[in-house]
Amino acid sequence: MWATLTVHILHGMLYSMEIDREKLLNLLKSRSKYIRTNKDIVEAFFCLIGYAVTIALAFSDLINSKLWVKITVGLIGLLYVVLFLYTLIETHYSIETLFREICSCNNDHKFILAVFKNRGRFLLKFDRRWKTWLFPYTKADTKEALFDFITYDIGFEPLEIIREKETDVTKYSVSAGLIKTYHHTFTEVSFNGNTEKKAFKFNANKYRWFSIDEMKLNKRIMDTNKETVDFVEQNF
């Protein structure tokens, strides 16, 4: 039943999203060591039973053996049991886990990063998930949706798009445990808004103005977002 369900899930996914074949192949190769069938588990279990029986049959010969021999054999048996249990726990791999990871192989990592400049500084938003300052980002796919994001999430009045620059950023995603490629569209927008304060809050979100030098001095920003900082420095 599970095999049939898996086939139907994967079949539907491949038609509902654009899958990067190379990423999917790399994912399956990297996860193959975790995948165990019921047959594998049964075989491992009987190997464990066989080892236990062998130890039991040999125990009569071990009674008169030296202490160090008994301890060595006992430790080997204990190590085997621990490794067997560890394998069962660590290689537990569910259909749901595989489904989520395959979803992360799609090409839908497209974001618009709003670029606001003010006297040599750029506006960053504190992201609670990543625990760092990022350029305000959205998946808005129209100018109207982008302007709504600016109005209701940042509190600025957007005026017009000045320029746009696109780039692909490939980095390791800690949350997914995979290498992902993000397509970023950096959109510089003119705006009306209060720029007197270096930091402010809007709709429970924290914002702050940073110069490029200040970003580079912030270790967390550079650890998580160095490619973005470098791109903005070179193009804006």
pLDDT of residue 124: 97
Count, residues in the chain: 236
pLDDT of residue 82: 73
Asked if residues 116 and 156 have their Cβ atoms less than 8 Å apart, the reply is: yes
Residues 120 and 231 both lie in one domain: yes
Residues 128 and 217 both lie in one domain: yes
Residues 122 and 231 both lie in one domain: yes
The count of structural domains within the chain is 2
Residues 227 and 143 both lie in one domain: yes
Q: 73, 103, 133 — which closes off a domain?
A: 103
Q: 103, 120, 149 — which closes off a domain?
A: 103
Q: Give the C-alpha separation, 124 to 191, whole Å.
A: 15
pLDDT of residue 224: 87
pLDDT of residue 15: 43
Asked if residues 206 and 126 have their Cβ atoms less than 8 Å apart, the reply is: yes
Residues 225 and 124 both lie in one domain: yes
Q: Give the C-alpha separation, 164 to 142, whole Å.
A: 13
Residues 35 and 74 both lie in one domain: yes
Maximum Cα–Cα distance across the chain: 91
pLDDT of residue 75: 75
Amino acid present at 198: K
pLDDT of residue 169: 82
Q: Could you tell me the mean pLDDT of each successive run of 10 residues in the chain, 236 residues long?
A: 45 51 68 59 63 61 65 72 66 59 62 94 93 93 92 95 91 66 92 92 94 96 92 94
Residues 231 and 165 both lie in one domain: yes
Residues 170 and 217 both lie in one domain: yes
Q: 87, 103, 119 — which closes off a domain?
A: 103
Q: Give the C-alpha separation, 181 to 208, whole Å.
A: 27
pLDDT of residue 55: 62
Give the structural domain span for 68. Answer: 2-103
Residues 79 and 157 both lie in one domain: no
For residues 7, 10, 11, 14, the Cα torsion angle rounded to the nearest 10 degrees is -160
Structure tokens given for 33: 């060591």
pLDDT of residue 35: 61
Residues 42 and 121 both lie in one domain: no
pLDDT digits over 4-60, tens only? 444 444 445 444 455 666 666 676 676 666 665 555 556 666 666 666 666 665 655
pLDDT of residue 148: 94
Residues 82 and 147 both lie in one domain: no
> What CATH number is attached to the domain comprising 206?
3.90.79.10
Q: Give the C-alpha separation, 171 to 151, whole Å.
A: 30
Run of H or E residues at 122: strand 121-127
Residues 171 and 93 both lie in one domain: no
What residues contact 215, with CB distance under 8 A and at least 6 apart?
Answer: 122, 124, 133, 221, 222, 229
Q: Measured between alpha carbons, how far is residue 71 from residues 58, 59, 211 in Å?
A: 14, 12, 65
